[in-house]
Amino acid sequence: MNFGCGACSREDAEAAWQHFRHDVDTEAPIVDDPHFIVRIVRCRACSQPFIRIFTEFIDWSGGDDPQYTTIMPVTEAEAAAFTDGSLSVFQAGKIGAGRRHLLSDWPSGQARRISWGEGTFLVSEGGLCPSAVYLSRRLALGRASAAYEARVLRVSKTFLVVKTLARHTVQKPSR
Ligand SMILES: [Zn+2]
């Protein structure tokens, strides 16, 4: 299945990313949480709809939280089904099995990386990792020592590395 036009499916991932930043029309969000935003965007050149999934994780190491965006072409019927909720946004990763999708990975403290991915992918809600949620409760109760906080930070970082790996590993089922 081929989607889009020369502008929205160009080989140069960075140029494609710039196209999606400046030359698409965005529809109202389907999901609009602070750390998980999903919406349909349309190429202004060819009207091809895409689902854009933004995920941010809170890693408890300061303001520079890891952010991930996936942009995948969808059919008109799928766009309508995502929008009216008859198709869950969490199904997007399976629908993507035979489609190329644009990825923006922006890990904490590193440069943003733009690339094309293929195959199924993981859709995550983002937010706090479970150990960081627990830490925030302990801190609120005044029951978290500096050593404990440091340990949770390490666990939290590992959790994010695993999440990021999962996002990339499932894209390449041939491996
Ligand atoms: Zn296009």
Q: Give me the domain span that covers residue 135.
A: 13-169
Q: Ligand 1 centre and the CA of 6: distance in Å?
A: 6
Q: Report yes or no on 116 lying in a domain.
A: yes
What is the domain count for the chain?
1
Q: pTM score, two decimals? A: 0.77
Q: Ligand 1 centre and the CA of 62: distance in Å?
A: 38
Q: Ligand 1 centre and the CA of 172: distance in Å?
A: 25
Q: How do residues 13-56 score in pLDDT, each as one tens digit? A: 999 999 999 999 999 999 998 888 999 999 999 999 999 999 88
Q: How do residues 101-127 score in pLDDT, each as one tens digit? A: 999 988 777 888 899 988 887 787 777
> DSSP string spanning 126-165?
-EE-HHHHHHHHHHHTT---HHHHHHHHHHHHHHHHHHHH
Q: Report yes or no on 106 lying in a domain.
A: yes
